[in-house]
Each structure stands twice: as C-alpha cells, then as structure tokens.
Amino acid sequence: MNRLADSTSPYLLQHKGNPVDWWPWTDQAFDEARRLDRPVLISIGYAACHWCHVMAHESFEDEETAAFLNEHFVSIKVDREERPDVDAVYMEATQALTGHGGWPMTVFATPEGQPFYCGTYFPPTPRHGMPSFRQLIASVAQTWAERRADVLAAGQRIVSSLAERSSVPSTGAPPSGAALAKAVTTLSTQYDEERGGFGGAPKFPPSMVLEQLLRHHARTGSKEALRLVRGTAEAMARGGMYDQLAGGYARYSVDADWVVPHFEKMLYDNALLARCYVHWWRATGDPLARRVALETCDWMLADLSTEEGGLASSLDADTDGVEGATYVWTPEQLRDVLGDIDGAWAAGLLGVTAAGTFEHGSSTLQLLRDPDDPDRWAGVRERLLASRATRAQPARDDKIVAAWNGLAVAALAETGALLERPDLVDAAIRVARLLLDTHLVDGRLRRVSRGGVVGPHPGVLEDYADLAEGLLALLAVTGDAQWLTAAGTLLDVVLEDFADGAGGFFDTAATETDPRLARRPQDPTDNATPSGWSAAAGALLSFAAFTGSTHHREAAERALGVYGALAESHPRFSGWGLAVAEALLDGPREVAVVGPSGDPCTALLHAVALRGTAPGAAVAVGEAGTTAAIPLLQDRPLVGGKPAAYVCRHFTCDAPVTDASQLAAALGARP
C-alpha cells in the first residue's frame, strides 16, 4: 500500500514505489504495530544523502527483503529535515548505543516508540564485521518473538537513560571577554596550519566559528582571529569543495586538503557561507571574499529557487546513482570542450591530472591561484559550465524549510546591500514573504512547504529563530518596519512556548512535542547550522537592540549562560552562541540613521552603517520623528536640517554625526 504519495517530503516520495509497505511517522503507524504486535523499523534519512540511496537500492528495493519486513515489522520512513525532533532523539539513542551516528539511521523500536536496537547503514551482504541487513532483520524478528521481555527491558533502559540526560546545565553569566579570548586560543591549537580549517578529515565548513572569529577581531583587533578566518575561508574557496564553475559549496570535504567533497549541496551551508564571506569582505575588502559571496548567492538563486519564491533544500550527492558524476573532469574531457591549448591551460589551472584526484581517473576542480588571464578564465569557465549543463544533473529536494530559508534571507539581504546588488535584496524579500504568507498558520510556524502547499509538521525552535534573524537582517537593509513586527511575533512564541524555565530553550514547543519521543529535545551546541538555542539568543538580542525591550535582552543574556563553559571546552561546536556573546559584550551597537527617503546623504550614512563591523550592530533607517514605527528611530531628529546617524548602546547615544567618515570610524567600517 502506498502511504507516502501525498507527502511534502521528496525523500519520502523517493520511497513511495518501494515494495516495502512504508508508513509515514503517524499515530496510525504505531497503532498498527500494536494491533499486529510487531516491532517498528524506523528508517531516517534525507533526499540528498548518498548512503540513504545506496541502502534503498540494495535493501528497500529488494523484493525478498521487503517481503520479510512486511511480514514481521511495521516500517516507518522519516525525513530528518522535516522531523528534526524525531531525528534528534533517535540519533542520541544511536550514538549512545553504537558510539557514532549518521544517515541512513536504522532504529528498531517497540510499538510505543522505545528504541531497543540502533545503527546506521547496513549492507546487503556481511561486510567488515557488519551483518547484512537481511541477517539483522531476521535476528530482530526472532528476538522479538522469543525474548520479548529482554527487548522491552532494553527499550526501557534506553528511554530512562535518555530522560536522565535530558537537562542542559545553563545558568551563570554570559561568556566574559576572557572566556571568548580563551575560545580563540583553543581554536588556534586546533587550526590546521598547512591546509586551513580545524581538525582533520572529514572537514566541514565552520561557518559559525568563522562568524565568532570575525566578531572577535572586530571587537578586540585580534590579528590571530582574522588569520584563522582568512586561512580557512581561502582554503575552502580554492579547493574542490567549492564549485569553481557554478559557485556554491558541497556539504563537506572527505579529505583534510579540501580536494574531494561529499557532493550534496545544501541550502543551509551556502546561506551560512555566503554571509560569512560577505562579512569577511566587510572586514578586509578581500576580492576573493566578494567573489565567493556573490557567486554563492547567485548559485542559490539559479539552482534552488522555486516557482513560489522560496529556496529548495538541496541538490543530491548522486547523479544517476554515481556520486559526483556531474562535477568531475578528466584532461581528455577538458580538451574535448576547450581544444588542446585551452584544455591544457585549464587542466593546469584547475588541478585536473591524468591520475585524477577523485575516482576512475577523474578530478574535482580546484582554483589554487588566481588565473593570470582573467578574461581567458571567464571564457573557459563559461564553456565548461555550458558543457556541464548537458550532462545528467543531480536531483533536487524542492521542499522549503523555514529555518534554512530564514538563513538565506539574512545572507541575500546583507550581500545585496553590502555589494550593491539590489536584486539579491529583492530575492530576500520574496523568500521572507513566502515564509510569512505560507508557513505562518494561525500564528504558528510550520516547518516545510512544497509546491506552495504547507506541510503539517510544526516549526521547531530553529525555524522561529532563524526566520526572526533573517527578518531583522532584512529590517536593517530596507528600513521596513513590517519585518520588525513579524520578528516580534515569532519571538513571542519562542519565549512563551519554547523556554525551559531555567534560561534555556527546548527545540520543540510545549504544545507540539511528540508524546512518543523519549524526551523533549534540547541542545545548545551548533552542528551544521546554529542550534535553535543560540539562534534564539541572537534574534532576541537583536530585537532588543531595535526596540529597547529589556524583556528580550534579559532572555538573550540568560540563554547565553550555557556558553561560558562551552567557550573553553567546545568552541568549535558553539560558534554562533559565542558570536552572539561577542555582540553582547560590544553592546550591541544600535545605529539609527534618520533622514528623508531617497536623500543621497541618508543613503550614504545607511550604507556606511551597514559596512560597520561592530559585532551584531542593529541598524535602522527611516524618517525622523517622535512616532517612528521602529523604536530605535524615535526621538532622533535631523541635525541642522541634515540626515544624521546616532550610535547608541542600550538606547544611550553618542553625539549624532552627519559626516560619513565619522560614522565609519565609530563603527569600524572601512573607508
């Protein structure tokens, strides 16, 4: 029976034709398991996941395997991107039982949802000491039939263990300046001096760590912090993880040298990285930073835009079942497209060798130096990209995830404003409008939509917080007070329904937590994206800076209490929380630019304010007046009839300035 056909998840739709009798995660699935007295197989993955595809082809498309599953289990398929709450709890169980995690995640549970056996990928035949998937399901079915009491006891032990570990110790004051400096010192010891980045293979893009380092440099002048940013950002941009033809980043590098990527391209990575690179450009004026920020935003819009105005989630790692097939080249292929002379030149420039840097003699493209002939490179790039477009292309997961689109709103808005690309700001507005019009239902945010139809799953903390962050970035760029109002509505829900009563936040709303889960998910550490906790702290602090709300500022300060210990012990996994702490220590600065709309002097002051590097500065622009829609602008008059900028902390302002150079000096903006 096909129960996945109406899903908003492309991942679930990929499995709708399997011979496995899949259920989505619903009450009815667990009711069926109880009725049939069967264990539950919970298979968790996502559409762009390479090994998810492999296991699907090897096992879930196999008729004999499917027949056994259909006879002995109730099988549930979960898209981790739609249900991060389900994924978080079962991932914690998997890591506790096996010492590692990943996707596909394979969990066997009781009809009440209690996990009793967990793993990740299982092959079709025994391999490297790992049982085959057929052996595994036969063993689980036999154990369920013959040793039920042991199974139930194991499930109860796991659930009890998860419940005991559910509280996150917070309290305490936000990180001090000394703690943030210690975080930079710790990061320095973990920095790869030869290759850039932190730690060894595999290497993931440390977007949030780079944001903290940039803010630390802006606040303290630390040359070391900026050195770590430059070395990492340049290595990533010149390596094979970056698409040297079309722009945009793959998920991570499988090697320590940034040569071979895992080829899936995710919206959230590219949104975070575009914002990082434009902030690096803002701090230094580096032309590489400018180029990568623009190319990444252009790639997002070119390859991920949907008809409804949002941005799709990802491009697959595979093309027709072969990872990276769209992207890699041999010297012969370069010569076929470019001719012998340009082909040889391109091979040398892009690191394409006869031996290959990837599989089967093919190479990823790297750009380890700027070309000595930029015009020639532009023409070569255009011809290679046109040729690549004739190849089979990876599949696209076209669901709209609220949190990731919120991250993209911030990146597009700031890149567009700082690099004078108003089309990018327009795109940010379209995305924000879609999220508010489609995903906000009866005052509550839904996590995903597809084809303009919103899905049933409630938004989690990161959806509310990342969207609020994006809306506040859009407010700073446009001066449109509607974005402040919308952000305030989202943050009201955060404070009312996600707060844990001890200064922190749960990842799910009190009224929308799934009762089948062993615990209410809660985690302040960053992973591939900012944690909902750190994102909420950042949005609350920014909202307080725009409005003067003591309530929101105090909530942000309480939330940052957990990052004091993390600053010293785990700075690589708390980058956004530490970035927010940098903003708190700086004020953050509140910048009110008042003047007539369309006045060149107003526009210049606004542009300089946005170029300021003061960590987390809140920038508002608008007409002078006592009843301005944005509280930061209230009671800020013109100065001598001229547009003026007020630089404030806690709504206490320095003398207003009308000269752009004075404003630049006050905010650390480059001339």
Structure confidence by residue, pLDDT tens digits, 212-266: 999 999 999 999 999 999 999 999 999 999 999 999 999 999 999 999 999 999 9
d(CA 261, CA 264): 8
Residue spans of alpha helices (H) in 435-549: 461-478, 482-493, 532-547
Q: Is the pLDDT of residue 606 over 60?
A: yes
Q: How does strand 652-653 pair with strand 453-454?
A: unpaired
Categorise residue 656: left if φ over 0, alpha if ψ from -120 to 50, beta otherwise. beta
Kind and range of the H or E run holding 319: strand 318-319
Count of positions (residues) in the chain: 671
Buried b (16+ CB within 10 A) or exposed e, 239-258: bbbbbbbbbbbbbbbbbbbb
Cβ contacts of residue 382 below 8 Å, gap of 6+?
Answer: none
Sequence letter at residue 444: R
- Per-residue confidence at 88, pLDDT binned at 50, 70, 90? very high
pLDDT at res. 169: 63
Give the best-scoring range by mean pLDDT among 95-104, 188-197, 317-326.
188-197
pLDDT per residue over 491-544, tens digit each?
999 999 999 999 999 999 999 989 888 889 999 999 999 999 999 999 999 999
pLDDT at res. 151: 82
pLDDT per residue over 560-581, tens digit each?
999 998 888 899 999 999 999 9
Express as a percent the part of the chain with pLDDT over 90. Answer: 85
Q: 433 with 413: CB under 8 angstroms?
A: no
Matching residue, tokens 């008042």: 594
Whether the CA torsion 624, 627, 629, 630 is positive or negative: it is positive
How would DSSP label each residue in 544-572? HHHH--HHHHHHHHHHGGGHHHHHHH-GG
- Per-residue confidence at 457, pLDDT binned at 50, 70, 90? very high
How far is CA 566 from each of CA 316, 377, 502, 557, rounded to the nearest angstrom? Answer: 34, 45, 17, 15
> Between residues 114 and 269, which one has the greater pLDDT?
269
pLDDT at res. 127: 86
pLDDT at res. 165: 65
> Between residues 624 and 413, which one has the greater pLDDT?
413
By CB neighbour count within 10 A (0-12 exposed, 13-18 middle, 19+ buried), where does 636 fall? buried
pLDDT at res. 496: 97
d(CA 608, CA 290): 17
- Per-residue confidence at 318, pLDDT binned at 50, 70, 90? confident
The total of other beta-carbon atoms located within 10 Å of residue 373's CB is 11
Closest CA to 439 of 1, 32, 48, 82: 82
Q: What's the alpha-carbon Rg for the chain, to the nearest Å?
A: 26
d(CA 122, CA 118): 11
Buried b (16+ CB within 10 A) or exposed e, 533-571: bbbbbbbbbbbbbbbbbeebbebbbbbbbbbbebbbeeb
- Per-residue confidence at 166, pLDDT binned at 50, 70, 90? low
Closest CA to 281 of 428, 475, 474, 411: 411
d(CA 352, CA 333): 10
If you average pLDDT over residues 536-556, what whole number do you get?
Answer: 98
d(CA 509, CA 462): 11
pLDDT per residue over 301-317, tens digit each?
999 999 999 999 999 98
Closest CA to 195 of 225, 226, 238: 238
pLDDT at res. 121: 92
Q: Is the pLDDT of residue 181 over 90?
A: yes
Closest CA to 321 of 62, 58, 66: 58
Quick one: CATH architecture of 10-164? 3-Layer(aba) Sandwich (3.40)
Dihedrals phi, psi of 590, to nearest 5 degrees: -115, 125
Dihedrals phi, psi of 269, to nearest 5 degrees: -60, -45
- Structure tokens that stand for 103 in this block: 């996707």
If you average pLDDT over residues 363-382, what whole number do you get?
Answer: 96
Q: 360 with 333: CB under 8 angstroms?
A: no
354: DSSP letter:
S
pLDDT at res. 93: 87
d(CA 642, CA 556): 36
pLDDT at res. 97: 81
Q: 582 with 175: CB under 8 angstroms?
A: no
Matching residue, tokens 């070119």: 302
pLDDT at res. 167: 59
pLDDT at res. 68: 95
d(CA 290, CA 298): 12
Three-class SS state of 177: helix
Cβ contacts of residue 127 below 8 Å, gap of 6+?
Answer: none
Three-class SS state of 130: strand
Kind and range of the H or E run holding 50: helix 50-55
Express as a percent the part of the chain with pLDDT over 70. Answer: 98
pTM score, whole prediction: 0.95
pLDDT at res. 60: 95
pLDDT per residue over 628-650, tens digit each?
789 999 999 999 999 999 999 98
Quick one: CATH architecture of 177-317+397-586? Alpha/alpha barrel (1.50)
Q: 289 with 295: CB under 8 angstroms?
A: no
